Amino acid sequence: MEILETKKNDFTILALDGRLDTLSSASLDSKLKDLIAKNENKIIIDLTKLNFISSSGLRVLLTIAKNVKSGGKLALCSLQEHVKEVFDVAGFTMLFAIFSSQQEALDSIQ
């Protein structure tokens, strides 16, 4: 999996490309922990190119949601239909702010 990092306003946008599974979840976990440690806790995770997510990937997202410090924000955007189904089954759509695009996420959580 590739992670492309960009900045917009006060937000760090991480675009994930590929599979978020047992093998790749450690790199995302490390990246997110580094951002939180640097107090860069306004994060949008763009899942446009994510074609698979496992329970390990879900666990990383849940852990980081709990660790975003006060004043921080976390949003997900652009979930592919098959990835959204996994979120629905796991009950994660109730736990995260999920938007249809990066721009919608930026506009909604400013």
pTM of the model: 0.94
pLDDT tens for residues 72-107? 899 999 999 999 999 999 999 999 999 999 999 999
pLDDT tens for residues 18-72? 999 999 999 999 999 999 999 888 999 999 999 999 999 999 999 999 888 777 8
Which domains are seen in the chain, by residue range? 2-94 (3.30.750.24)
CA angle 105, 46, 11 (to 5 degrees): 55
Report d(CA 97, CA 56) in Å as an integer: 20
